[in-house]
């Protein structure tokens, strides 16, 4: 099993969700996050007081799927979240040791 | 009358010797066959104006200031404003009204009518014509002015002053700064009133006074921890925008109400309160563009308030196009005061009560002397030359600045001795909402 963690632009979330449900992904976890990469923050000015914010708001999407599906999930997110501009985000793929469905106690890929 | 004055004191019915020297009042002082009866239309407008000024304080100013502070100090800012207004109202009926508009007095303050002694539903206060309004209405109207002026000063001291210090400061400040200045400018026999200064709705009494006091209080109190290196952006410009709108609406009571009658001059004050403000709102944003920035929401709000401040002394004293020019001028100059002068001098007058209210008030007060002249579309009759009127205005401004600065210094040190003035570093860090009130604005 793989955990696919993607940091994307907030307005790309719907397209990413549609791409992934189209691949048969049954669930995902989404969080609002802040961070920075190559895309620098903005400058804000309030009555002449300038503040540069170096943290940009992003969405973090986390999906767990079986090993066979993982490359297609990565590709799906990469295409759906791509706007061609700096700041589109990153995708990370991690190995998952175990998964358990709390209600039934099922484990492994059947728990996904 | 040759020009509109705010008021020649209250209580025409009691026929005060103070006013006997003024021809316009002399007629009223002569006991007529029947005492003057308030016109219900005027009374109704003044009651409406009075609650409009309350709308400016709570929620108007509370939201305007609150939105500009950090979220951890939202409740503290709004509570200080609300409690200040409450305290000012109580002090006003105990001795404030007597000290500002009492039956006996000198050039600096008056006395009598403490605890509103002798005032009944039948008592009346003079307006500028031969009309009168109910004295209880006049007392209430003037009460809201004292309340908002004290609350405005807090713009300089928010996010670090103790609540208890605010209460002590406001009590002393009203007594030694506001009541005397209100008397000097608005009451018959008052120093600046007798000079013939024009202050329609309180440019000197309210805005220059509050702005200068805020600066002096901020200087003595010291900067907020982390200022100016740590970012302190406004936590909700949405609140500030809502507050700005409420201030503008309430300001019609403030300005058009200051005519004390629902007449044509009140109408002039009303249209000026629209157009000076509109002009100022846009000119602040234009100035931002010219200076290479984006036109901002806070810029629009700041411009609107600067325009309202500048038109306050001018409201019934200039023509609509004089008001448009005044609004634009005030906006441009206030922009530089808050975004260039303040950083250059490095003081932390946190919410720019000085940069907008004092500077805008000074532009308005001096501009009123110029635009009052009939040659510039003003309602003046030209009996006082433009330069002469302007010189009187300048003198009034100087007296207000000096009086406010000295009085505030005394008041803030009294607060310091009694309460310690400033919250601890820990409270300042975690926010005054939790530290001073045990609550959070947002959960």
Name which of B5-19, B169-183, B362-376 the model is least confident about.
Answer: B5-19
Mean pLDDT of all residues in B341-361: 96
Chain A's closest residue to B303, CA to CA, is: A47
Structure tokens at A23: 């691949």
Q: Is residue B443 part of a domain?
A: no
Report the alpha-carbon distance of residue A15 to residue A83 in Å, rounded: 11
- Domain assignment of residue A68, given as a range: 2-111
The average pLDDT across B245-256 equals 98
Check B233 against A47: CB less than 8 A apart. Answer: no
The verdict on B289 touching A (C-beta cutoff 8 Å) is no
CB contact under 8 A, B298 and A46: yes
Biggest alpha carbon distance in chain B?
70
**Which of A43, A46, A50 should we substitute to test contact with B (largest number of B Cβ atoms within 10 Å)?**
A46
- Binary contact (B233, A51; C-beta < 8 A): yes
**Which pLDDT score is estimated for A41?**
75
CA distance B39 to chain A (A): 46
Residue B122 is part of a domain; what is its CATH number? 1.10.3430.10
Residues facing residue B110 across a β-bridge? B105
Contact B338 A46 (CB under 8 A): no
Residues of A engaging B, defined by a Cβ cutoff of 8 Å: 44-49, 51, 53
Query: Is the pLDDT assigned to residue B9 strictly greater than 70?
Result: no
Which positions ≥6 away from B93 have C-beta within 8 Å?
B115, B116, B139, B143
Q: Are the Cβ atoms of B339 and A44 closer than 8 angstroms?
A: no
- For residues B171-209, b (16+ Cβ closer than 10 Å) or e, as one string? bbbbbbbbbbbbbbbbbbbbbbbeebbbbbbbbbbbbbb
Distance CA A75, CA A1 (A): 17
Helix (H, G, I), strand (E, B) or coil at B372: coil
Please say whether the beta carbons of B206 and B41 come within 8 A: no
Residue B193 CA to residue B105 CA, distance in Å, equals 13
What is the value of pTM for the model shown?
Answer: 0.86
The count of other CB atoms within 10 Å of the CB of residue B167 is 18
Residues counted in chain B? 443
Provide the residue range defining the domain that includes B72.
17-437
Q: What count of CB pairs under 8 Å joins A to B?
A: 28
Comparing CB atoms, the residue among B233, B299, B340 nearest residue A44 is B233
- Mean pLDDT across B368-376: 93
Checking DSSP bridges between strand B104-105 and strand B132-134, what pairing results, if any? unpaired
Query: In 3D, which of B16, B61, B35 has the Cα closest to residue B356?
Result: B61
Q: Which residue bears the tokens 């609550």?
A: B439
Integer angstrom CA distances of residue B236 from B46, B64, B69, B129, B438: 33, 9, 8, 45, 21
B-interface mutation test, from A42, A45, A48, A53, most B Cβ less than 10 A away: A48
pLDDT in tens, A2-14: 999 999 999 999 9
Q: Which residues in A lie closer than 8 A to residue B340 (C-beta atoms)?
A: 48
Contact predicate B64/B244, CB 8 Å: yes
- Does B293 touch chain A if contact means CB atoms closer than 8 Å? yes
Taking the C-alpha atoms of residue B300 and residue B297, their distance in angstroms, rounded to an integer, is: 5
Q: Which residues contact A68 (CB under 8 A, 6 or more apart)?
A: none
Which of B318, B311, B306, B302 lies closest to B237 in space, CA to CA?
B302
Question: Does any domain span residue B8?
Answer: no
Q: Give residues with Cβ within 8 angstroms of B34, minimum separation 6.
A: none
pLDDT greater than 60 at residue B31: no
Residues contacting B282, CB < 8 A, separation 6+: B303
pLDDT at A55: 86
Contact list in B for residue A53 (CB cut-off 8 A) is 231
Residue B231 sits at the chain A interface (C-beta within 8 Å): yes
Q: Which of B232, B294, B339 sits opposite A48 (nearest CB)?
A: B339
Q: Could you tell me the two tokens for B392?
A: 């009187």
Of A46, A48, A53, the CB nearest to B234: A46
Number of domains in chain A: 1
Give the single-character DSSP code of A85.
S
Residue A24 has pLDDT above 50, yes or no: yes
Are B155 and B353 in contact, with CB atoms under 8 Å apart? yes
Q: Cβ(B309)–Cβ(B198) under 8 Å?
A: no
Q: Note whether residue B2 is domain-resident.
A: no
Q: What pLDDT, on the 0 to 100 scale, is given for residue A53?
A: 79
B315 vs B378: CA distance, rounded Å: 11
Q: Is residue B12 part of a domain?
A: no
CB-based contact A48 B340, cutoff 8 Å: yes
Separation between Cα atoms, residue A110 and residue A62, nearest integer Å? 18
**Mean pLDDT along residues A25-49:** 89
Determine whether the interchain pair A51/B231 forms a contact, defined as Cβ–Cβ distance below 8 Å: yes
Q: What is the mean pLDDT of chain B?
A: 92
Partner-chain contact B302 A46, CB within 8 Å: no
d(CA A45, CA A60): 28
CB B230: neighbour CB atoms within 10 A? 9
* Gap from B284 CA to chain A (nearest CA, Å): 10
Note whether B338 contacts A44, CB cutoff 8 Å: no
- Residue B247 above 90 pLDDT? yes
Which position has the higher pLDDT, B10 or B91? B91
ipTM exceeds 0.95, yes or no: no
Q: Which residues of A touch B342 (CB under 8 A)?
A: 48
Contacts with A, B 397-436, CB within 8 Å: none
Cβ-defined contact of B342 to A48 (cutoff 8 Å) = yes
Question: At A46, which CATH number?
Answer: 3.30.70.120
Tokens of B263: 């007449």
For residue A40, pLDDT beyond 90: no
A contacts of B355 (beta carbons < 8 Å): 47
How does pLDDT run across B373-417, given as a tens digit for each residue? 999 999 998 889 999 999 999 999 999 999 999 999 999 999 999
Q: Which chain A residue lies closest to B342 (C-alpha atoms)?
A: A48
CB within 8 Å: A49 and B228 = yes
B339 touches chain A (CB under 8 A): yes
> Which are the contacts of B53, defined by CB distance < 8 A and separation ≥ 6?
B141, B144, B145, B148, B250, B253, B254, B257
CB B11 within 8 A of CB B189: no
Q: Which of B407, B393, B231 has its CA nearest to residue B326? A: B393
Q: How many domains does chain B have?
A: 1
Residues A48-77 have a mean pLDDT of 93
Query: Which pLDDT value is given to residue B5?
Result: 41
């Amino acid at each position: 099993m793989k955990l696919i963690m993607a940091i994307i632009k907030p307005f790309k979330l719907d397209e990413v969700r549609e791409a992934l449900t189209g691949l048969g992904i049954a669930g995902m976890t989404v969080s609002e996050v802040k961070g920075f990469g190559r895309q620098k923050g903005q400058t804000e000015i309030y009555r002449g007081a300038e503040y540069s914010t170096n943290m940009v708001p992003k969405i973090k999407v986390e999906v767990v799927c079986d090993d066979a599906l993982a490359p297609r999930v990565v590709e799906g997110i990469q295409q759906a979240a791509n706007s061609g501009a700096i700041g589109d985000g990153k995708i990370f793929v991690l190995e998952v040791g175990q998964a358990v469905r709390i209600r039934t106690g099922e484990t492994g890929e059947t728990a996904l | 009358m040759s020009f509109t004055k705010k008021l020649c004191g209250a209580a025409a019915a009691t026929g005060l010797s103070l006013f006997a020297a003024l021809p316009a009042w002399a007629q009223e002082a002569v006991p007529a066959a029947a005492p003057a009866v308030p016109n219900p239309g005027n009374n109704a407008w003044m009651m409406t104006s009075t609650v409009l000024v309350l709308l400016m304080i709570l929620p108007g100013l509370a939201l305007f200031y609150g939105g500009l502070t950090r979220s951890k100090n939202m409740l503290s800012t709004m509570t200080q404003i609300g409690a200040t207004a409450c305290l000012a109202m109580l002090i006003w009926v105990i001795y404030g009204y007597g000290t500002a508009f009492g039956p006996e007095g000198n050039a600096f303050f008056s006395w009598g009518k403490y605890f509103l002694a002798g005032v009944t539903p039948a008592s009346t206060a003079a307006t500028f014509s031969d009309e009168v309004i109910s004295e209880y209405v006049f007392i209430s109207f003037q009460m809201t002015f004292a309340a908002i002026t004290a609350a405005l000063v807090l713009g300089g001291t928010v996010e670090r002053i103790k609540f208890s210090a605010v209460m002590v400061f406001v009590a002393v400040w009203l007594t030694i700064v506001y009541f005397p200045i209100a008397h000097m400018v608005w009451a018959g026999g008052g120093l600046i009133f007798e000079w013939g200064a024009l202050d329609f709705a309180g440019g000197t009494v309210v805005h220059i006074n509050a702005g200068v006091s805020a600066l002096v209080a901020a200087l003595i109190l010291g900067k907020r921890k982390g200022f100016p290196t740590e970012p302190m952006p406004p936590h909700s410009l949405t609140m500030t925008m809502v507050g700005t709108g409420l201030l503008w609406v309430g300001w019609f009571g403030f300005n058009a109400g200051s005519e004390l009658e629902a007449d044509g001059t009140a109408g002039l004050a009303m249209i000026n309160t629209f157009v000076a403000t509109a002009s100022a709102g846009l000119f602040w944003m234009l100035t931002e563009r010219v200076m290479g920035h984006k036109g901002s929401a806070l810029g629009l709000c700041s411009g609107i308030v600067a325009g309202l401040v500048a038109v306050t002394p001018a409201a019934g004293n200039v023509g609509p196009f004089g008001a448009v020019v005044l609004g634009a001028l005030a906006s441009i100059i206030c922009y530089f005061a808050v975004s260039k002068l303040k950083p250059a001098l490095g003081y932390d007058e946190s919410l720019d009560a000085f940069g907008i209210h004092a500077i805008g008030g000074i532009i308005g007060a001096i501009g009123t002397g110029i635009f009052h002249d009939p040659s510039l579309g003003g309602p003046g009759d030209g009996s006082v030359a433009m330069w002469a009127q302007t010189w009187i205005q300048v003198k009034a401004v100087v007296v207000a600045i000096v009086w406010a600065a000295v009085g505030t210094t005394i008041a803030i040190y009294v607060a310091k001795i009694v309460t310690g003035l400033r919250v601890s570093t820990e409270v300042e860090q975690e926010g005054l909402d939790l530290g001073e009130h045990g609550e959070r604005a947002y959960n």
